[in-house]
Amino acid sequence: MSDILDRLAETLEARKQAAPDSSYVARLYAKGTDAILKKIGEEATETVMAAKDDQPEKIIYEVADLWFHTLVLLAHKGLKPADVLNELARREGLSGLAEKANRHE
Ligand SMILES: N=c1c2ncn([C@@H]3O[C@H](COP(=O)(O)OP(=O)(O)OP(=O)(O)O)[C@@H](O)[C@H]3O)c2ncn1[C@@H]1O[C@H](COP(=O)(O)O)[C@@H](O)[C@H]1O
């Protein structure tokens, strides 16, 4: 799965050199951080609505939109999916350590 994220991150990086009106992502970068944050807010709301309606396909579709726009934000801020995956791995390690500690109590 991280292959897909890495490929998408490369495309998002390349869009930084593209003319603002040449693609959706290039247009979003040109509009700036607030426009990206607005899309994240909209997609988060649409995800909540899909979940409330209990529509699995719609939930997947909206979460894909939400993840996509958070990836655009990461790229815009000079960050990569691996930075987030590393943070999740670090937390997994921490919870693993906590579990071990609990077992030895
Ligand atoms: N994965 C995506 C992706 N997911 C969602 N979207 C866009 O995100 C928008 C979702 O917003 P909405 O549902 O609100 O639809 P909308 O009304 O068209 O949105 P707005 O134009 O009002 O912002 C749509 O325009 C979708 O096309 C995406 N656009 C691009 N990608 C990937 O990003 C790559 C680069 O995209 P371009 O910059 O378009 O070449 C592509 O190769 C794709 O792999």
Model confidence pLDDT, tens digit, residues 25-74 = 999 999 999 999 999 999 999 999 999 998 999 999 999 999 999 999 99
For residue 102 the two structure tokens come to 């609990």
The domains located in the chain, with CATH, are 4-79 (1.10.287.1080)
Distances (CA, A) of 103 to 94, 95, 96, 99: 14, 12, 11, 6
DSSP letters of 84-103?
A: HHHHHHHHHHHHHHHHHHHH
Question: Among 24, 70, 72, 76, which is best to mutate for testing ligand 1, by the most ligand atoms less than 8 A from CB?
Answer: 24
**Does 11 sit in the ligand 1 pocket, CB within 6 Å?**
yes
ipTM of the complex: 0.92
